[in-house]
Amino acid sequence: GQNIDQPTEMTATEGAIVQINCTYQTSGFNGLFWYQQHAGEAPTFLSYNVLDGLEEKGRFSSFLSRSKGYSYLLLKELQMKDSASYLCAVREYNQGGKLIFGQGTELSVKP
């Protein structure tokens, strides 16, 4: 099975940079996803990493190290609307494409 860990809560200031970490243990790693979920809404896809390195998409970047079982989501130029829960999810080989999610990190952006 999988074990996915991420911090429960983080607080950051508008305009700043924040890094949300995720560590995982899995037997057949085949990709890591980050989703954003605003309160009362559906999770929405942010990023996908399957190879080591950094994927950049506007203000958001995601990094993966498969040897360390580690990923982070980097949010730059924080805005108040970035206050949300950020979910790390792992996919394994030959599991039908299912995603197993971590508990999520609740990010609060303060003025």
Partner 1 sequence: DARVTQTPRHKVTEMGQEVTMRCQPILGHNTVFWYRQTMMQGLELLAYFRNRAPLDDSGMPKDRFSAEMPDATLATLKIQPSEPRDSAVYFCASGFITGDTGELFFGEGSRLTVL
Contacting positions for partner 1 (CB under 8 A) = 30-31, 33, 35, 41-45, 48, 87, 91, 93-104
| Closest alpha carbon to 105 in 9, 5, 17 | 9
Report the C-alpha gap between 88 and 102 in whole angstroms: 5
Place of tokens 């860990």: 5
State the minimum distance, in angstroms, from the CB of residue 111 to partner 1: 27
Report the C-alpha gap between 14 and 26 in whole angstroms: 35
Question: Which helix (H) or strand (E) element contains residue 25?
Answer: strand 18-25
- The residue (of 47 and 63) whose beta carbon lies closer to partner 1 is 47
State the minimum distance, in angstroms, from the CB of residue 101 to partner 1: 4
- The residue (of 35 and 63) whose beta carbon lies closer to partner 1 is 35
State the minimum distance, in angstroms, from the CB of residue 103 to partner 1: 4
